Structure 1
Amino acid sequence: GNLLTQVNANGVTETSEWYKAEGEDGCPADPQGFVRNLKRKTVTPAKSDYGNAPTLQTRYTYSELPSLIDREKWLAIENETLMQIRTGNELELTTTTYAYFNDPGNPFEHGRKRLDEVAHKGNVTATHYSYRMARYARTDEPVLHTDIEIVGFDDSATKPVRKRHTLMHSMFNGEPLLNRDDSDVEIAYEYDLLSRVTKETVAPNTAYEASRSYTYRLTNAAGQQALQTACDVKGVTTTTWLDGFNRPIKEARQDADAPGFNPNDEPRLTYEATYNNREQLISETVIDWEGPKNVPLTSLLRYDDWGEQRCVVRADGVEEHEVTDPIHQTTTQWLEVEGKDATGKTVTANNLFDKPDSIKRYAKGVDPTAPGAVAYSEHLYRYDGMGRTAEEHDPMGNRTAYEYDAFDRMVKTVLPDYYEVEREYAPHSTEDLPTRISVGGIELGTQEFDGLDRMTASTTGGRRSEYTFDPGQSQPKSVLRPSGVTTDYVYRPELGEDPEQRIAVESTAVFTYDQQNARLRKTQEVDENGITHVLEREYFSTGELKSERRGAANEEPYVMHYQYSRQARLLNYIDVLGQHQTYTYNPRAQLIETRLGNTHSTFTYDDLARVKSIRTVDGDQVLETTIAYDDYGREVLRTFDFGQGVIQTLAQTYDEADRLTHRMLQQGSDLLRDETYAYDERGRLVDYRCEGSECPVDPYGKTIIGQLFGFDEKDNLTYLETTFDGGRHSIYFEYNNEDPCQLSALDNELSPPRPGDPDYPPRIDFNYDANGNLLNDEAGRLLGYDSLSRLISVSALSGESLGDYQYDALDILSGSGSDSGNERRFYQNGDLVNLVKGADSSTFVRAEGVVLAEHQEGASPKSLLLAADDKSSVLHELGHGERLDLAYTPYGYSVGGEGALGYNGEQREVRDGRYLLGKGYRALNSTLMRFESPDSLSPFGKGGMNGYAYVAGNPVGYTDPTGHLKLKLFALLMFSGVGEAGQAAGQGAARTSRSVLQGASRTAGQATNAASSTVGASDDLLSGFTMTTTRGSSTFGATTSVAQQTGSRGVSSISSAPVPSMPGPSRATPAVNYAPQQSRQAVAQTKPGPAIPAPKPPKPLSTKEFNKLGLFDRQRYLDRGGIDPTTGMPAPKKKSNWMDVPKESARFREQP
């Protein structure tokens, strides 16, 4: 009855071979005479014309152990070896050796796992286990005390590389009672008699103790309803009512932020759900709170005859359709309004791996099933025999190919221009720990990892950084930067992984966190003049920022106040000048008006809940912007009405890959600007043309007719040819430094020649500091940086100061200075909102990601209404009846206007035209068309392979507000057929994203993203090139609400706290490796949402059953939530390369 061969529907074959009952080499005779011990299991890929998927085989050997009683011995797995099988060749990949306690005289330990050693390429990582009986003082019960010690392959007496972990499990029911790590941080659990969690406590019996408690009630009388409650660390209780099938039907939460809150007050309703007689969820209502007012947002769900969800009718009335044909394996998606198609349709054809073979888009009104129906675009995918993406062809026919190793890690990417990107990985591990990356054979960077998978060194362009750790800790205690300067860090493990102190050369930053929920409460830093700068924050119970105080110890602090709805819609904001900006929403939770002083803006929406018009009024000034979209959600027309009959139109055209190819600005019949764009195979802008009376000028004052761009394989700009009336200017860029992405010089060439022209020096050489920061720019200005690579000064070649910059402890650009005085900068949700310079100030009015107006107070007060394009680049400033028109080169150069905002809505530095992106993270030089400092997320992470390149060479289709990674202009999932409207306001009842309650929001994909990838390497590295290794979740397919997403033990794990745009890791923050452990935030955050049971894990296996599983089956069991019987723990979360992942923590969240 043992399974021998299984041929899966996708063609993958699994073959099992079993040891004979009488025994063979590698396995003694079975004690009971059964054939049941797996000898080898082979996984053979399906036939495929693409890729080279390996055949993998897992081999097992067994040893005998005596039983506790005088009976037969029993068998235990001794070795497990993973082999890669190729014709005539076998390659050993990993070998795991197991050892067990063998002492029948000690029944408690006998037979338990004592050791496992994993050998990979000759490097052995050992895990030691020890057990003892103990008594748990907290509950006074006997426990199994397990100590686990991981010893890295590079462990030594002088440099220990090991980590200890302690577990305590109840001897009564096997439930975990205590989890303690190397930092002595404990998580304790308490249960009721039915083994339900009643309390979780972090850092018990310390000053940092934080607990979350739960209660449960069943029915014992008529009229009662089963319910459970969750009380968070701040004492706020959420109650969930359940029906007879244990499904959430209602939820209420205490309104802890209400004035005069009393814990005995009746909780307020937050969620309701109804089901039909087929046990299908048919409606969800999320109740938002605007002060005392309830705002219900209801979504309806519909199903097909197969019981699959086919439609969600959102709270705004838009119908999201997703129809699955299980026979032809296609999924068709589109939007409807009142039963009529409102968008084009997207058809995804899936293969037997349940992954898309093709994704086609059709224009509105075209029936994809009709004979002869012509698709607007098609994206193709090809897979190897294990279902990994081997090739993809974008709608323009550009091919990208991928190769993987036996552990599904990407080792090679062949780009559309045939350059190859190669990655190598740590030799001791099968995890995604890249150690080398190269493109076209040129090395871009290397990384080193120790036996605990912690990065100990990284080198980019010859710049080496080193990280040191305390024994067993996952956070570096010091970072030695390429400059030779060391930054030290001090942590409070009980409060998480963020530093409590950062000790740099110039100053020491101190961070204070809430002792219960670990949110950042205060920062202090002493500057070089001895002045202490302080930041203090307060939060609402739902996690949103309530107030923020900033200032120096010797001055009156600047204070900002916020008011949010329960679903994190901003209702009111008071800035540092005491000005109130209010936000008003309609019953669909769409923003319809915002006011600040005399300025107010009103919003209207089209049938798909996208912004249709914005009308801004300030006194007698009026500016109205109207927006139109095409069948695929792309903006195609923007109309500016300046009043008095003056109307301009901005029309846009795209190609099948959603790249902007043509943009025309007109006023009536007058052509102002007609721009065309062309791209190479990798999507980089290579040709720009402009006609009309308002074309942009280059940095030398010449009106541009056309520009040609050339790139190398590393996305370096190699030449720029600018054509203007009467001549041509060519720039040749050189990269001769050790860092192949570092601009070393440029040569200017004019046609016709102009010898001695000071505007065009024949050659400019560039210098860099040891950390890779540019020290001189194209105008001869000198740039200065601190030890954390923050730009702190700009000066003339003569040494005359042109200005300086100051930063707070969070590395946010908080001020600047010049001969005319010091300027303070303030932000709200990551956007610049106030500039204060003595008696002068500027206030920026924004809403829904749109710049609306700028108020200037002081010596020359004025109000400017701002007309911007879809990238928020300010095109027109309207003030006092006058209009100033602006134009930008593709990389953002402009002569500037009267206001502070310019390209992409960012602040333009008046003194030199730079853009300090990411609230000062690093400077974009629009003349050199690149960053002046390298990105900490490059070359291995999401910053892309080139740490200096701006948006990988496509400034037309992407922006980079954080200075870290490019963001597509409009996020459009190819398979949704919907643009920014795809996640419009009001659908919150059927979605977890908070943005759905904030007006016309954005989907999270790119035009080429067919599905999510389990191989993050390509997306991180190449950004514009994607692969499909798993079927992505549909834009419309989510029926699970906030309430239904639950964490461990059925405790809701979705927080109502906002998720602001995060800038990613600060360059001043140590790179940290997220070791698989339970973080404090997982327990401490407020967790509204019905607390329903999590999906059931698989049936628990005994140690013997578990050890019999092969590598793949074992991993599948653990991935489904199964408990490893050898440790009593679920599988640790899959590790990420911690330099690739933006750090989500209090340090980098909620920064206004």
Structure 2
Amino acid sequence: LVQRIDPDGAEHFKSYDDKGRLTVEQDPLGAVTAYQYDEAGRLIALFPGDDEPTSYEHHNGFVRVVRRGEAVWKYQRNDQGDITRKTDPDGFVTDYSYNKHGQLTEVWYPDHSCQRLSWNDFGQRVEEKLPNGGVRRYRYDDLGRQVAREDEYGALTQYQWDSVGRLTQVVLPGGATRAYSYNPYGKITAEHDELGRVTRYEYADGLHLISRRINPDGTLLKYRYDNTRLLLTEIENEIGETYQLAYHANGLIQQETGFDGRRTGYTYDLNGHLLEKTEYGDDDSQLVTRYERDSAGRLVRKTLPDRSIVDYTYDRLGNLLSVDDGHWPLNYEYDIQNRLTAEHQGWGTLRYGYDHCGQLKSLRLPDNNRLVFQHDKGGHLATIELNGKTLTSHLFKSGREHQRQQGQLLSHYHYDDQGRLHTHALTQQEQRHYRRQYDYDKRGNLTRILDTRKGQHDYHYDPLDRLTRANHSQDLQERFAHDPAGNLLMQDRMGPGVIKGNRLLMQGDRHYDYDAFGNLLRERRGRAQQLVTEYRYDCQHRLITVTQPDGTHASYRYDPFGRRIAKTLNGQTTEFFWQGDTLIAEHSADHHRSYVYEPDSFRPLALLEGFGPEATKPFHYQLDHLGTPQELTNPNGEIVWSAHYRAYGQIAKLDVNTVNNPLRFQGQYFDQESGLHYNRHRYYNPDNGRYLTPDPVKLAGGLNGYQYVPNPTGWVDPLGLSANCPGNEKSKLHCNKSSEPEAPEASRSGAFRQAKSDAKIPTKQHPNPVFDAETGQIKQFKYIRMKDLQNNEILDTKGKPILTREYEYTREDGSKIVIQEHSAGHKFGASGGVGDQGAHFNLRPISNTRNGKLDGVKNHYNFEVKR
């Protein structure tokens, strides 16, 4: 192949040497990648345009050394070519052992921890001993299908299959079951959940594409497609409103029209990168955002609708160096392994250090406080030190936290057979402070909390698992209803709720007005609606002012990534600093505080009051099953803040308020001046359980753009983008090794670990840090819109375009791969084959992340997500 012309006219060119080896590739915009070989035909150099080249040294036919910039990776191999030792650029070593069949049996990590794997005669993994001491076991039937899995906690999950290899039933730990029915083409027609409720699916004639989803309560979702490319063109929700999609010739979305009638148009360059986004208001006004990119496709300039400009710069390794919007500059530094070592925000700086396994070892905060993180051999957090003194200590058993020491207080955690928090007891010198017990139904919905401090809470749900009642022994009883489209209605409000296009127009005596783009503009209440709260937004739909009925005025500012960096109230400004998407510190003229979180999460661990090591006083968070602060305690064990919550996060009562705590649901910060919760990308109103503005990621966040979560007792939305159910396991992906067989019932973490294992990526190896242009963050993953073989956007089983996570890794031989996460599953193609998948991961080479293949790996690493 020397030339390919896409439907939109984009031309791709390839050149080869006289031996047929690819030497040059040119993309449609002229960017060139060159390849150089030795006399034996082995790749010895890769030149990616203007970026830093990569060179390879070979020995006995295998890559031995990989160099890029100043970084050097070294590899030792056995006679079969399997890597037996890897030395990273910092000199740390990982060793590998194999059996006579070439199967991996041991991995010794730089921290001297070991993982061991056992196999049966059919090449199936039957046991794995994790670095943390846990053991997983697997059983198979005579046809090689997994029929049972015992996790490291002793919980047994069993699987039943029909005669053609389709999963028909899952028996969960504790005995609850899920069952599946299929049509003759192998498509799921019915799902029976743990409570016996049935969700049914119907398919368009001859297309094997879902045409109707019939929910357990009888409501319907309908899907329609075009007649040529079979792309989803319309979704009709449960109340008859439609969401429409139109496409360019190359299959990229040209325009989407929401349930409320709002239109958004997109244009792309010849490489498929977004060039321009146009948002059309209800009043025919337009907001146009333009994007400029370098030859590697990286965003270098964004021009906003108000003509302000954001510039991005990178080094030759592709690391983001700076982002400048002219107001709050951001700058970054990296180590030899491309790990972030310094992050400069305004006047503050965060500095990072890493241990032998690449885990975060130290963090220096903007006020010069220093945190040191120690991990055990399973990769779990063992202690956190603040300026040389122990702040917290943690005891994990088989990857699950069982004890936590915070000052004089000791927490004891116990979990049920599905890994959900069952009890949390807090003691001091063997004297119990309080105890909380969490009970769940077979579906996993929280049904009761027994709290020795705050009484009993009982919860009830409808057939779609939406909360309908919350009974609190020490507070009022809450009642909720939902319209068929999932809009929450508070039953304790007088009068009907009026909703159109998922916009709440009226409830009780409150009337709501919106601007042309669906942002809440005004709330009117009281006699003759004379009490008016007004909201104003910038051209990126970020809230910039709130004016209360009494004239109180608050204003807000944001950095280039949309993180709130300042709020001004009554002439006093508070500035905010961030570590990725988590708020790390806030500072005003007379006050400074910092926040510490559990690793890789939004669950707060500690509040540090005061500026600098000499003035800082630590306080400890006590959380519920969702990670919501219930109490704040000092090192002596005294409660200094304690709250009673209502179901959707509104505080009914503060029974202790010696130290102010603004953190609420995960990722949320309470603004006293407005009653709102700042939730990273949006503002949440706990009074009505809704966001003020529609979801910026549109369908990727769900069908209802204003909904907080499906139910607030089991779900959180730390980013204000898309709800998730907090994982049952507290262990992190990089801390445990697993290679669970491919089965739709595997856990997400198990499937992820298996994908890493099959790609020969050590468990403790972190993803390469990347800049995510969708969210504007430096992360260990980025969001991308997935496409099929024909460059069409892939849709999930609900017809939503998939904005999915992509993790990039450098393998032992120096090659780069990505692991793509499809948590929502997807549906494309007419055959009902590979395009129709539930939740899974894919492995792809970096050279073709759309549909490239890797040798020796599975097509899909399936897993189950809680609905």
**Common fold, TM-score beyond 0.5?**
yes
Aligned equivalent of 1:390, options 152, 168, 184:
168
Q: Structure 1 residue 630: deviation in Å?
A: 2.3
Q: Structure 1 residue 584: deviation in Å?
A: 2.2
Aligned equivalent of 2:424, options 649, 658, 663:
663
Residues 405-448 of structure 1: CA deviation (Å, up to 9, x unaligned): 34433221111111111122343534xx4332121252342221
Given that residues 571 and 582 in structure 1 are in contact (C-alpha distance below 8 angstroms), is that contact kept between their aligned partners in structure 2?
Answer: yes
Aligned equivalent of 1:716, options 466, 480, 483:
466
Given that residues 232 and 1086 in structure 1 are in contact (C-alpha distance below 8 angstroms), is that contact kept between their aligned partners in structure 2?
Answer: no
Residue matched to 1:570: 340
Matched, 1:625 2:392: yes
Residue matched to 2:827: none
Distance 2:495 2:412 in 1: 39
Distance 1:654 1:395 in 2: 12
Given that residues 701 and 721 in structure 2 are in contact (C-alpha distance below 8 angstroms), is that contact kept between their aligned partners in structure 1?
Answer: yes
1:313/1:472 Cα in 2 relative to 1: closer, same or farther (>3 Å)? same
Residues 782-820 of structure 1: CA deviation (Å, up to 9, x unaligned): 5444444444555655454545253564x6x46444433
Residues 712-760 of structure 1: CA deviation (Å, up to 9, x unaligned): 1112222222212xxx74333334x4x252334514xxxxxxxxxxxxx
Aligned equivalent of 1:518, options 284, 297, 304:
297
Given that residues 584 and 593 in structure 1 are in contact (C-alpha distance below 8 angstroms), is that contact kept between their aligned partners in structure 2?
Answer: yes
Matched, 1:590 2:590: no
Q: Structure 1 residue 634: deviation in Å?
A: 1.6
Matched, 1:653 2:414: yes
TM-score w.r.t. the length of structure 1 is 0.59
Residues 1027-1055 of structure 1: CA deviation (Å, up to 9, x unaligned): 799x9575497164569xxxxxxxxxx99
Residues 983-1020 of structure 1: CA deviation (Å, up to 9, x unaligned): 23xxxxxxxxxxxxxxxxx8899xxxx76567xxxxxx
1:859/1:937 Cα in 2 relative to 1: closer, same or farther (>3 Å)? closer
Q: Structure 1 residue 329: deviation in Å?
A: 5.6
Local SS of the residue matching 1:494: coil
Q: Unaligned regions of 5+ residues in structure 1, if any?
A: 1-175, 220-224, 255-267, 288-294, 337-341, 364-375, 551-555, 642-646, 696-704, 748-760, 973-978, 985-1001, 1015-1025, 1044-1053, 1065-1070, 1096-1109, 1122-1128, 1142-1152
Local SS of the residue matching 1:969: coil
Matched, 1:1058 2:770: yes
Distance 1:795 1:248 in 2: 69
Given that residues 687 and 706 in structure 1 are in contact (C-alpha distance below 8 angstroms), is that contact kept between their aligned partners in structure 2?
Answer: yes
User: After the TM superposition, which residues 286-365 of structure 1 pair with which residues of structure 2 at under 5 Å, given as runs?
Assistant: 286-287=88-89, 295-326=90-121, 331-336=126-131, 342-361=132-151
Aligned equivalent of 1:605, options 365, 375, 381:
375
User: After the TM superposition, which residues 13-162 of structure 1 pair with which residues of structure 2 at under 5 Å, given as runs?
Assistant: none
TM-score w.r.t. the length of structure 2 is 0.77
User: After the TM superposition, which residues 962-973 of structure 1 pair with which residues of structure 2 at under 5 Å, given as runs?
Assistant: 962-970=719-727, 972=729
Q: Structure 1 residue 683: deviation in Å?
A: 0.3
Q: Structure 1 residue 212: deviation in Å?
A: 0.9
1:214/1:328 Cα in 2 relative to 1: closer, same or farther (>3 Å)? closer
Q: Structure 1 residue 648: deviation in Å?
A: 2.1
Residue matched to 2:796: none
Given that residues 826 and 835 in structure 1 are in contact (C-alpha distance below 8 angstroms), is that contact kept between their aligned partners in structure 2?
Answer: no
Residue matched to 1:457: 234
Residue matched to 2:456: 706
Local SS of the residue matching 1:558: coil
1:457/1:396 Cα in 2 relative to 1: closer, same or farther (>3 Å)? same
Aligned equivalent of 1:774, options 504, 507, 515:
504
Residues 933-960 of structure 1: CA deviation (Å, up to 9, x unaligned): 8879999x785x988776554735x533
Distance 2:168 2:696 in 1: 29
Bigger mean CA deviation after superposition, 440-449 or 929-938: 929-938
Q: For residue 290 of structure 2, what is the amino acid of its counterpart?
A: F
Q: For residue 1076 of structure 1, what is the amino acid of its counterpart?
A: L
Query: How many residues align structurally?
Result: 768
Distance 2:320 2:634 in 1: 33
Q: Structure 1 residue 452: deviation in Å?
A: 0.9
Residues 525-570 of structure 1: CA deviation (Å, up to 9, x unaligned): 33xxxx54433222333333322223xxxxx522111123354432
Distance 2:582 2:639 in 1: 19
Distance 1:234 1:566 in 2: 19
Matched, 1:191 2:21: no
Given that residues 303 and 310 in structure 1 are in contact (C-alpha distance below 8 angstroms), is that contact kept between their aligned partners in structure 2?
Answer: yes
Given that residues 115 and 737 in structure 2 are in contact (C-alpha distance below 8 angstroms), is that contact kept between their aligned partners in structure 1?
Answer: no
Distance 1:253 1:905 in 2: 37
Q: For residue 772 of structure 1, what is the amino acid of its counterpart?
A: N
Given that residues 126 and 137 in structure 2 are in contact (C-alpha distance below 8 angstroms), is that contact kept between their aligned partners in structure 1?
Answer: yes
Matched, 1:960 2:738: no
Matched, 1:634 2:400: yes
Given that residues 353 and 387 in structure 1 are in contact (C-alpha distance below 8 angstroms), is that contact kept between their aligned partners in structure 2?
Answer: no
Matched, 1:275 2:77: yes
Residue matched to 2:481: 734
Distance 2:341 2:192 in 1: 49
Local SS of the residue matching 2:477: strand
Structure with max Cα Rg: 1
Distance 1:1111 1:842 in 2: 53
Q: For residue 910 of structure 1, what is the amino acid of its counterpart?
A: Q
Residue matched to 1:234: 50
1:435/1:918 Cα in 2 relative to 1: closer, same or farther (>3 Å)? farther
User: After the TM superposition, which residues 826-845 of structure 1 pair with which residues of structure 2 at under 5 Å, given as runs?
Assistant: 826=559, 840-844=573-577
Q: Unaligned regions of 5+ residues in structure 2, if any?
A: 594-608, 611-617, 777-783, 794-806, 818-830, 837-841, 845-851
Residue matched to 2:159: 381
Distance 2:681 2:843 in 1: 41
1:953/1:305 Cα in 2 relative to 1: closer, same or farther (>3 Å)? farther
Matched, 1:218 2:68: no
Distance 2:670 2:4 in 1: 51
Local SS of the residue matching 1:1038: helix
1:1034/1:584 Cα in 2 relative to 1: closer, same or farther (>3 Å)? closer
Residues 221-250 of structure 1: CA deviation (Å, up to 9, x unaligned): xxxx955211113242111223333x2211
Residue matched to 2:787: 1074
Given that residues 136 and 151 in structure 2 are in contact (C-alpha distance below 8 angstroms), is that contact kept between their aligned partners in structure 1?
Answer: yes
Residues 510-537 of structure 1: CA deviation (Å, up to 9, x unaligned): 22221412222233333xxxx5443322
1:496/1:947 Cα in 2 relative to 1: closer, same or farther (>3 Å)? closer
1:919/1:1094 Cα in 2 relative to 1: closer, same or farther (>3 Å)? closer
Residue matched to 1:167: none
Q: Structure 1 residue 689: deviation in Å?
A: 1.7
Residue matched to 2:734: 983
1:303/1:446 Cα in 2 relative to 1: closer, same or farther (>3 Å)? same
Q: For residue 117 of structure 2, what is the amino acid of its counterpart?
A: E
Distance 1:1091 1:883 in 2: 54
Residue matched to 2:848: none
Bigger mean CA deviation after superposition, 855-864 or 647-656: 855-864
Given that residues 715 and 949 in structure 1 are in contact (C-alpha distance below 8 angstroms), is that contact kept between their aligned partners in structure 2?
Answer: no
Q: Structure 1 residue 686: deviation in Å?
A: 1.1
Distance 2:705 2:248 in 1: 32
Matched, 1:822 2:555: yes
Q: For residue 521 of structure 1, what is the amino acid of its counterpart?
A: V
1:1089/1:309 Cα in 2 relative to 1: closer, same or farther (>3 Å)? closer
Residues 58-116 of structure 1: CA deviation (Å, up to 9, x unaligned): xxxxxxxxxxxxxxxxxxxxxxxxxxxxxxxxxxxxxxxxxxxxxxxxxxxxxxxxxxx
